[in-house]
């Protein structure tokens, strides 16, 4: 069975499960919302200040949400040892990785789409004029997050304290994603919006490097 088809079936299975339970979506959305509101108490949320701190706030909320959501998303395959069933099937382990990572990508993106208008309204930032660009930045940053996060979740399921361990491993690794995404978002939300092409290329580079590394190394984590 081709990698594409196997990835598709796993992704479809993930989406169907999530549509039914909505566990990950609900908890992630509520969590990001909470962080965004809590942040408003840490500084004077005037238009001026919001423009300065907003992008960082947005990305920190997303990073924390991602690092909390990715482990449960992977543990689903452990509850009834369905991971063994996937490994028995004649599919490449890359398909398992891609299916899981793409599913997490979709969940996080949905949470972001929900969050974005609320964030814009609460902090008075004009998002509509640069909506397309913002979405591209969000997609690139999220891709980096779920790629590394899915691999680390596969590491985490083999350790004790897994829920706590994943953020500890993932967040320092994502420092470059945080920096580049915040920079790109900040230039888009500035008084005179502009595209930070260096940041975009940088994010693409990060995504490509870690997608390749994950594709090469993921199967080592599945073996027993």
Point out which residues bind other proteins (CB under 8 A): 1, 5-6, 9, 13, 16-17, 20-21, 76, 79-82, 84-92, 148, 151-152, 155, 158-161, 165, 168-169, 172-173, 175-176, 179-180, 183, 198-199, 202, 205-206, 209-210, 213, 217, 220-221, 223-224
Closer residue to other proteins (CB): 55 or 115: 55
Closer residue to other proteins (CB): 139 or 165: 165
Minimum distance, C-beta of residue 36 to other proteins, in the bound complex (Å): 23
In the chain, where does DSSP find H-type helix? 3-21, 23-39, 47-79, 82-88, 93-123, 131-156, 162-173, 175-189, 197-222
Give the gyration radius of the chain's Cα atoms: 18
Closer residue to other proteins (CB): 17 or 40: 17
Closer residue to other proteins (CB): 19 or 128: 19
Minimum distance, C-beta of residue 164 to other proteins, in the bound complex (Å): 9
Contacts of 96 (CB under 8 A, 6+ apart): 6, 10, 83, 86, 87, 218, 222
- Going by the DSSP 8-state scheme, the letter that residue 159 receives in this structure is S
Instruction: State how far the Cα of 110 lies from the Cα of 24, in Å rounded to an integer.
Output: 11
Minimum distance, C-beta of residue 1 to other proteins, in the bound complex (Å): 5
**Token digits of residue 69:** 């959501």
- Going by the DSSP 8-state scheme, the letter that residue 130 receives in this structure is G
Minimum distance, C-beta of residue 70 to other proteins, in the bound complex (Å): 14
Minimum distance, C-beta of residue 125 to other proteins, in the bound complex (Å): 20
Query: What Å distances lie between residue 202 and 137, 191, 223, CA to CA?
Result: 11, 23, 33
Closer residue to other proteins (CB): 127 or 186: 186
């Amino acid at each position: 069975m081709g990698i594409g088809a196997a990835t598709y079936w796993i992704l479809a299975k993930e989406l169907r499960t999530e549509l039914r339970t909505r566990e990950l979506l609900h908890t992630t959305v509520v969590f990001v919302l909470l962080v965004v509101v809590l942040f408003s108490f840490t500084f004077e949320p005037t238009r001026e200040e919001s423009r300065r701190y907003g992008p960082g706030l947005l990305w920190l909320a997303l990073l924390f949400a991602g690092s909390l959501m990715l482990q449960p998303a992977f543990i689903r395959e452990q509850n009834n040892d369905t991971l063994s069933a996937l490994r028995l099937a004649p599919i490449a382990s890359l398909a398992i990785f891609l299916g899981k990572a793409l599913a997490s990508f979709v969940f996080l993106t949905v949470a972001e789409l929900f969050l974005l208008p609320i964030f814009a309204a609460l902090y008075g930032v004009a998002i509509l004029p640069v909506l397309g660009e913002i979405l591209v930045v969000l997609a690139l940053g999220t891709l980096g997050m779920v790629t590394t996060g899915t691999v680390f979740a596969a590491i985490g399921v083999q350790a004790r304290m897994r829920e706590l361990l994943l953020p500890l491993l993932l967040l320092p690794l994502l420092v470059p994603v945080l920096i580049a995404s915040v920079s790109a978002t900040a230039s888009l939300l500035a008084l005179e919006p502009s595209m930070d092409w260096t940041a975009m290329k940088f994010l693409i580079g990060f995504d490509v490097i870690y997608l390749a590394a994950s594709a090469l190394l993921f199967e080592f984590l599945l073996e027993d």
